[in-house]
Structure 1
Amino acid sequence: MHKTTRESRSCSRRSFLRATGAAVVAGAAGIAPRTALAAARLSGALARPDLLDEKSPAGIEIFQLTTDTDVPSSHLYMEAQIFAPDSRRFVLHRSAHAHGSDKNDPRHQYLRCDIDDGCSLHPLTEETGATAASVSPDGRYLYYFVNETTVGGGRLTLKRVNLDGSDRQTVMVVDSPLPDTSYRPSGIYPLSTVSSDGRRLALSAFLGDGQTQNAPFGLMVFDVEQATVRLILQGPTWCNMHPQYSRSTDPEAAHDILVQENHGNVATPTGSITQLTGGEGADIHVIRDDGSNFRDLPWGRDGNEFCQGHQCWRGRTTWAITSTGCRQPSEAQLIEGRAAPHADHVGIRTPGGIRNDISRSFPNPHFYHFATDIAGQRLVSDAGPLDKRAAIYLAQLGAAGQEPARTFTYLLSPRSSCTKGAHIHPFLSPDGVMAFFNSDESGRLQAYMVRGLEHCT
C-alpha cells in the first residue's frame, strides 16, 4: 500500500465563471519533482466563447479544462469508463495524447476533475507506467495498471485508489505466466473496462515471447474481489480489441464484453503492429467474460461496408453502435445493431442480425468518433472532414433498432488539426448535459468541456 500524495489545481467558482475567452492560453507551472507533488499547481480552467460560432446553439458554453504548456493533456478515449455516476467528477490525464501515453514517461498522470469546484484538477497517480484507468461504476475507486512489462517478462500491477486520492492499494501483481498458460502479457492496451457490478476488469495485451511469428494477443479478466486473473480470448487477430463491458445492470448482460477483431492484421514477433487490418477488415463481437457465448454484430465485411474500429454500447441497453466506412454511397454512417449467434465472421450478412442506420436522417453523413449518455438517448459525434474543419454534433436518438436519430444539432468546430494524436474524440457525461473533446487549436493538445446541452432539444 502506498501513502497518497495529493496535488490540486483549483479555480474558484467565481473566477471560473468570469474567466476570459482569450484564445491565447495562459502559461502554466511546470510539473514539480515526483517527490514534491503536493507543492505542484496547475493553472485554472478557461472560458472559451471564441470557440463558438454563429451556428452554435444558444445556451452552451465552452471551457478549456487544461492549460499546461509544457506537455499535452487529453481526455481518455471516448469509450473509457471515467465518470462517477453523479456526472460531477471524472478522470483525464496530462502528458498524454488522444490514444494514450508513453509507459516510460514520468510526467504522465491521471487527474480527477471536480466540475462543481470550478473544474479543479487533482492528481491521482504518480507512478511511471500508470495506464488503462477505469472508474468503478459507483464512483468510489479509480482502478489502473502500472505497466512494467517487457516482451515475455516484467510485471503488471493492478492498483486501486479512492477517487478522493486516499487509500491507494495494490490489488494484484502479474509477474509470471497467466494461469493455465505459458503467456506473459506485455504491450498493454491503454484502455481497461469494468463490469457494471464493479467486480471485474478486462484488459487486453500482447502475449508473444519476442521470437514467435504470428503470436497471439489476448483478453484478461481480473476479479478484483478475489485478486485473480484468467485469459478468456486469444489469437493473432485481437491486436486492437477495444474491450467494453456492457453497462447493463441485468445480471446476465453484465458479463458481456464488446470486442473488436482485426482480420488481416500484421504484427512483428515483439508485438509491433505493422498493419491493422486487411481484406474485408475488422468485425465486432460480444463475448461472455468467462470466454463463452461468442457472438457477432451485423456490421461490415461485405466488401462495401467496413467497420472503422469505433463502437460502443448504447448506454445501458444491449444495443451497440459502430461507425462505418462505405464505398457506395461514399459515407461514414452510424449503424446500430444487436449481437446474434456467431456465423463465421460474415459481418453484415450475419443470420438474424438486426441493423438500424441511425445516421440516415443526416445528409451525406461522415461520422467517426462518438459516445452516448448512460440512458442511451443522446449521442455526440465528430463529423468530417477530419481536419480543422471537423465539427461536433449532438444527436437525440430514436427507438432502438427502429428509428434514425430524431435530431442532429451542430455544437461547434474544435479547430483541431485532427492528426492521430489530436483526434477530437467527443463523449458525454452520464447525464448527457455536458460534452467533452480534445483539440490542439491552442498549439498544444488540451482537454475541453461543453456545458449547457440541456438547452439543446
Structure 2
Amino acid sequence: MKGPASTIWFDESNWVLDEEVAFQERFRDPETGVRILRLTSQPCISTNIYPEHPASTPDGRRFIFARMAPLSTWCTYWIADIETRRVRQITDEPEARAPVVSPDGQWFYYSVGRTIWRMSPQTFEREACYEIPADFGPTVGIRSISADGHRFLTAVRTPTGSYGVAAIDLREQRSWILFEGPDVRNPHEQYSRNASRKVLIQVNDGIQMDEHGNLIKLVGEMGASLHVVNDDGSGHVKLPVGSSLLERVQGHQCWVGDKDMVITTLHRREAPDKPWIQDRVVTIVPGESAYRVVGQGPGFTHIHTTPDGRFWVADCNRSGDIYVGSVTTGRFRLFVHSGSTFGAAQYTHPHPFFLGDGKTIGWNSDVTGVPQIYCARIPEGFLESLE
C-alpha cells in the first residue's frame, strides 16, 4: 500500500474567494450566457483525459485530468472537484498512465509500466493489483473498463510482433489478446457501457511509422475503419461507415451511453478531386447495414455522449466552439465558445465531455495562452430544447 501522492487541495479557479466578488460575470459566454468555470491556472499544461475514457465520477462531481511541465512528456494526474472548485495531485510516478474511474465510482485505476494500480477515491491511497504479462509487448496502459468494473482493455504488441488489444480480468487475474493486426496501432479500445462486454476498436488502415516510432502516415487512402468484437474475440463486425474514397471516419468515436450503438464523426467529399468537408455526426448499430445522421453543420470533431445516450457533445475544429445535440432529433445548439486554438498539439483541442451525471460539460482551452481545464453546468431547459 502506498500513501497518497499529495494531501493538499489547491484553489486555482476563476471564482474569487471574496464573497463580494465570487463569480465574475465576464466569465459568462457572451452568446449563450453559460457560466464558465476555469479550474486550473498554473503556468503548465493542464489537459483533460480523452473524452472516450471514463475519467469522471458517476455523481458528476469530480474528474481526473493530466498535467505536464513545459518541454516535458512526464504527466502527473490530478483530480478536480467542481463543487469546491479545487484540484489535487493523485499520482507521482514518472510513468503513470491512463487513469479510469470504475462505473460505480468506488475505485480509480491507472498504470505504471506493466503494473495496474488501484486507488481509493476517499483516501487516495494506492495498491498494486495486477501485472501485465511480459510476453505482451509495450503497452500504453489501461484505457477502458467494463460495466461490471472487473475487466480492462489495453493496446499491446502481441507475442508474434503484431499489434492488438488485450483484455485484463482483475478478478480472475488473467489477460488475453482479443483482436490483432498490423494496423491496430491506434485502437482507441472501448468497452461498451453495459453487460454485453462488446469492444469498439479503431484500425488505422495503411498507417506508416518509421523504425523510431515516428508517424509518417496516419491512415491510407480509405482512412481508418471501425470494428466491434466480443471481448473473447468472437463476433467480429466491421461497421458500415467510412472506408471509401468519398467518406472517412475521423477517428473520434464512442459508445452511445449504455446502448450497443456507436457514434462517430465523418469526413466526406463529393468526388475524389473535391475537398474534404467535416460536418456529420452519425450513429451505427453493429449488425445493421447503414448509419443514421444525428447532426450536420459545423466541423464536428471530437464526440461524447451523456450516460443515458440521449445527447452528444462535439467541438468544431474551425472555431473551437462546443455544440450539444440530440441523438434522437439531430437538433443541436452552441454551448460555449471555448477559445481553443485547435492546433497540432492535442492540449489545444477542446475535447469536450459530459461528466458522470450528464449535467456538466468539461473541456480544454488555451485561450489564456496556456492550456487549462474548464467546465460548465448545463443550464436548465437547454437539453430539453433539443428534443
TM-score normalised per structure 1: 0.76
Q: Write the letter of the residue equivalent to 1:55.
A: E
Q: Write the letter of the residue equivalent to 1:225.
A: R
Aligned residue pairs, count: 375
Correspondence for 1:393 among 323, 328, 348: 323
Identify the residue that residue 47 of structure 2 maps to in structure 1: 74
Give the SS at the match of 1:454.
coil
Contact 1:83–1:91, Cα closer than 8 Å, also in 2: yes
Give the alignment of 1:91-240 within 5 angstroms: 91-95=64-68, 102=73, 105=74, 108-116=75-83, 118-147=84-113, 156-174=114-132, 176-177=134-135, 184-186=136-138, 188-189=139-140, 192-207=143-158, 215-240=161-186
Contact 2:295–2:325, Cα closer than 8 Å, also in 1: no
Which deviations, in whole Å up to 9, do the C-alpha atoms of 1:351-398 show, x marking residues without a partner? Answer: x423100114xxx4320012111011121111231xxx3211111331
Contact 2:14–2:39, Cα closer than 8 Å, also in 1: no
Q: Are 1:428 and 2:354 counterparts?
A: yes
5+ residue gaps, structure 1, are 22-45, 148-155, 178-183, 210-214, 341-351, 399-403
Q: Are 1:275 and 2:181 counterparts?
A: no
Question: Take 1:244 and 1:82, find their aligned partners in 2: how far apart are those partners?
Answer: 13
Give the SS at the match of 2:380.
helix
Q: Write the letter of the residue equivalent to 1:448.
A: Y
Contact 1:47–1:64, Cα closer than 8 Å, also in 2: no
Question: Take 1:206 and 1:326, find their aligned partners in 2: how far apart are those partners?
Answer: 32
Identify the residue that residue 273 of structure 2 maps to in structure 1: none
- Quick one: structure 1 residues 332 and 452, their matched pair in 2 at CA, closer, same or farther if it must change by over 3 Å? closer
Give the SS at the match of 1:332.
strand
Contact 1:206–1:271, Cα closer than 8 Å, also in 2: no
Which deviations, in whole Å up to 9, do the C-alpha atoms of 1:415-449 show, x marking residues without a partner? Answer: 11111321110111232221111011111111100
Question: Take 1:307 and 1:20, find their aligned partners in 2: how far apart are those partners?
Answer: 50
Give the C-alpha shift of residue 335 in structure 1: 1.0
Question: Take 1:200 and 1:16, find their aligned partners in 2: how far apart are those partners?
Answer: 42
Question: Take 1:53 and 1:119, find their aligned partners in 2: how far apart are those partners?
Answer: 19
- Quick one: structure 1 residues 83 and 19, their matched pair in 2 at CA, closer, same or farther if it must change by over 3 Å? farther
Question: Take 1:381 and 1:276, find their aligned partners in 2: how far apart are those partners?
Answer: 22
Give the C-alpha shift of residue 80 in structure 1: 0.9
Question: Take 1:175 and 1:17, find their aligned partners in 2: how far apart are those partners?
Answer: 49
Identify the residue that residue 279 of structure 2 maps to in structure 1: 332
Q: Write the letter of the residue equivalent to 1:393.
A: Y
Give the C-alpha shift of residue 315 in structure 1: 0.5
- Quick one: structure 1 residues 224 and 436, their matched pair in 2 at CA, closer, same or farther if it must change by over 3 Å? same
Give the C-alpha shift of residue 454 in structure 1: 3.0
Question: Take 2:212 and 2:13, find their aligned partners in 1: how far apart are those partners?
Answer: 49
- Quick one: structure 1 residues 90 and 14, their matched pair in 2 at CA, closer, same or farther if it must change by over 3 Å? closer
Which deviations, in whole Å up to 9, do the C-alpha atoms of 1:211-247 show, x marking residues without a partner? Answer: xxxx521111111112222122222110110011101
Give the alignment of 1:229-268 within 5 angstroms: 229-248=175-194, 251=195, 253=196, 255-268=197-210
Identify the residue that residue 43 of structure 1 maps to in structure 2: none
Question: Take 1:447 and 1:146, find their aligned partners in 2: how far apart are those partners?
Answer: 24
Question: Take 1:384 and 1:194, find their aligned partners in 2: how far apart are those partners?
Answer: 29
Give the SS at the match of 2:267.
strand
Question: Take 1:291 and 1:51, find their aligned partners in 2: how far apart are those partners?
Answer: 49
Contact 2:103–2:148, Cα closer than 8 Å, also in 1: yes
Give the C-alpha shift of residue 189 in structure 1: 3.2
Give the SS at the match of 1:231.
strand
Question: Take 1:173 and 1:85, find their aligned partners in 2: how far apart are those partners?
Answer: 27
Contact 2:14–2:37, Cα closer than 8 Å, also in 1: no
Contact 2:52–2:254, Cα closer than 8 Å, also in 1: yes
Q: Write the letter of the residue equivalent to 1:87.
A: G
Contact 1:394–1:408, Cα closer than 8 Å, also in 2: yes
Aligned residues: percent identity?
Answer: 27
Q: Write the letter of the residue equivalent to 1:416.
A: S
Give the C-alpha shift of residue 167 in structure 1: 3.7
Identify the residue that residue 32 of structure 1 maps to in structure 2: none
Contact 2:13–2:86, Cα closer than 8 Å, also in 1: no
Question: Take 1:48 and 1:208, find their aligned partners in 2: how far apart are those partners?
Answer: 56
Relative to structure 2, which stretch is displaced further, 276-285 or 6-15? 6-15
Identify the residue that residue 356 of structure 1 maps to in structure 2: 292
Contact 1:124–1:165, Cα closer than 8 Å, also in 2: no
Q: Write the letter of the residue equivalent to 2:293.
A: D
More helix by share: 1
Give the C-alpha shift of residue 11 in structure 1: 4.0
Contact 1:434–1:453, Cα closer than 8 Å, also in 2: no
- Quick one: structure 1 residues 454 and 174, their matched pair in 2 at CA, closer, same or farther if it must change by over 3 Å? same
Which deviations, in whole Å up to 9, do the C-alpha atoms of 1:153-200 show, x marking residues without a partner? Answer: xxx1111111124441111223621xxxxxx421x3366100000010
Identify the residue that residue 151 of structure 1 maps to in structure 2: none
Contact 1:133–1:192, Cα closer than 8 Å, also in 2: yes
Contact 1:371–1:381, Cα closer than 8 Å, also in 2: yes
Which deviations, in whole Å up to 9, do the C-alpha atoms of 1:244-265 show, x marking residues without a partner? Answer: 11012xx3x1x10111011111
Give the SS at the match of 2:193.
coil
- Quick one: structure 1 residues 176 and 49, their matched pair in 2 at CA, closer, same or farther if it must change by over 3 Å? same
Question: Take 2:157 and 2:170, find their aligned partners in 1: how far apart are those partners?
Answer: 21
Give the alignment of 1:317-328 within 5 angstroms: 317-328=259-270
Q: Write the letter of the residue equivalent to 2:120.
A: N
Identify the residue that residue 316 of structure 1 maps to in structure 2: 258
Q: Write the letter of the residue equivalent to 2:343.
A: T
